[in-house]
């Protein structure tokens, strides 16, 4: 029981479930993406993972101009574009009540995220067990995998009771006791490392990197598997100096099985549009293959197992 609730009935908002994934850990996996994140990274590719509750996803291209949503919005946040005859949402007025999603027949008004109980998620994972094999399993990502720590801890324990391998994909900014237990108990941790300079880290992500580094050292001290993921975003965190410092830091640890350097991509751009958010990295261009190879070498020459992507 947690706070008077059966732990298996704890609920958290999930915005995606991917079955049969070959990334986010060893083997073949099912990955769930939880909403809620303490960071606000400039290059975030899952902006629908930032808020802690289900929110409006508006796709104007799917609107047929019926105008029904305008009549149900209690905040008068929707109007019809007089020229295009399509709905327009003023996100500054919208409180994500989701009334418009219930009346829209084309799914132009739709939702990012849905609440699941631990048991519902577990049942969904258990159906996939046949393809996990000896090294696959569940990956819990987000958003931040430990944002709802009681939920995540119970899910990890249910999986372990059923011999399912669990990977935790974390930004490392974990302040709660049960969040740290998740860090301890996961079989594999995919640990994001977004910059060594604290001032720059605050600018890029909104938080200090001190707690993140402390939590990485703590997980490392347990001698359990870690894959470190380093986004390489031109103009933000991919200076030679930062990558050298990152590699020097990782060289001092003993449980790093692999370092994944993650090039910038723009798959998340459409979601910024659907959320009515500005897309800060629209003009950023990814590094060339030669530049990526140079970055790989910075880690390899320190004896680290490194790859592009992951």
Check residue 307 for interaction with ligand SF4 (CB under 6 A).
no
Least separation in angstroms between residue 276's CB and ligand SF4 is 10
Check residue 8 for interaction with ligand SF4 (CB under 6 A).
no
Least separation in angstroms between residue 246's CB and ligand SF4 is 41
Whole-angstrom distance, CA of residue 107 vs CA of residue 62:
7
What DSSP line would sit under 63-87, residue for residue? -----HHHHH-TT--EEE-TTT--E
Q: Cα dihedral sign for 191, 165, 23, 267?
A: negative
Nearer to ligand SF4, 64 or 305 (CB): 64
Whole-angstrom distance, CA of residue 130 vs CA of residue 126:
8
Select from 66, 262, 286, 308 the one that contacts ligand SF4 (CB under 6 A).
Answer: 66
Select from 8, 75, 180, 302 the one that contacts ligand SF4 (CB under 6 A).
Answer: 75
Check residue 68 for interaction with ligand SF4 (CB under 6 A).
yes
Check residue 275 for interaction with ligand SF4 (CB under 6 A).
no
Whole-angstrom distance, CA of residue 200 vs CA of residue 177:
28
Nearer to ligand SF4, 15 or 299 (CB): 15
Nearer to ligand SF4, 108 or 190 (CB): 108
Whole-angstrom distance, CA of residue 154 vs CA of residue 102:
32
Options 37-45, 97-105, 227-235, 251-259: segment touching ligand SF4 (CB under 6 A): 97-105
Check residue 100 for interaction with ligand SF4 (CB under 6 A).
yes
Nearer to ligand SF4, 87 or 186 (CB): 87
Check residue 67 for interaction with ligand SF4 (CB under 6 A).
yes
Q: Cα dihedral sign for 237, 242, 246, 247?
A: positive
Nearer to ligand SF4, 84 or 301 (CB): 84
Least separation in angstroms between residue 102's CB and ligand SF4 is 9
Check residue 87 for interaction with ligand SF4 (CB under 6 A).
yes
Buried b (16+ CB within 10 A) or exposed e, 141-171: bbbbbbbbbbbbbbbbbbbeeeebbbbbbbb
What is the pairing mode between strands 55-58 and 109-112?
antiparallel
CA neighbor of 142 nearest in space, from 14, 272, 231: 14
DSSP state of 288: P
Select from 7, 12, 34, 77 the one that contacts ligand SF4 (CB under 6 A).
Answer: 77
Per CB under 6 A, residues contacting ligand SF4 are: 56, 63-69, 72-73, 75, 77-78, 87, 89, 94-100, 103-104, 106, 108-109
């Amino acid at each position: 029981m947690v706070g008077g609730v059966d732990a298996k009935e704890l609920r958290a908002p999930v915005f995606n479930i991917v079955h049969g994934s070959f990334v986010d850990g060893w083997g073949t996996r099912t990955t769930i993406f939880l909403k809620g994140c303490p960071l606000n990274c400039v290059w975030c590719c899952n902006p629908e993972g930032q808020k802690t509750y289900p929110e409006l996803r508006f796709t104007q291209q799917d609107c047929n101009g019926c105008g029904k949503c305008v009549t149900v919005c209690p905040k008068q946040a929707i109007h019809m574009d007089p020229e295009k005859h399509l709905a327009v949402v003023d996100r500054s007025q919208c409180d994500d009540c989701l009334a418009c999603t219930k009346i829209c027949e084309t799914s132009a008004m739709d939702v990012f995220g849905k609440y699941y109980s631990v048991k519902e998620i577990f049942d969904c994972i258990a159906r996939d067990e046949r393809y996990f094999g000896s090294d696959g399993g569940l990956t819990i990502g987000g958003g931040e995998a430990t944002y709802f720590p009681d939920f995540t801890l119970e899910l990890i324990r249910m999986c372990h009771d059923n011999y399912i391998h669990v990977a935790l994909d974390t930004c490392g900014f974990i302040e709660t006791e049960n969040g740290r237990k998740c860090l301890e108990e996961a079989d594999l941790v995919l640990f994001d490392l977004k910059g060594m300079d604290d001032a720059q880290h605050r600018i890029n992500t909104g938080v200090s990197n001190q707690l993140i580094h402390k939590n990485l050292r703590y997980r490392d001290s347990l001698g359990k598997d870690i894959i470190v993921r380093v986004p390489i975003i031109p103009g933000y965190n991919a200076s030679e100096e930062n990558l050298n410092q990152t590699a020097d830091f990782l060289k001092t640890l003993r449980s790093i099985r692999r370092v994944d350097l993650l090039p910038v991509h723009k798959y998340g751009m459409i979601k910024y549009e659907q959320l009515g958010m500005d897309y800060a990295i629209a003009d950023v261009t990814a590094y060339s293959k030669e530049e990526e190879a140079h970055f790989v070498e910075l880690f390899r020459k320190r004896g680290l197992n490194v790859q592009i992507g992951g």
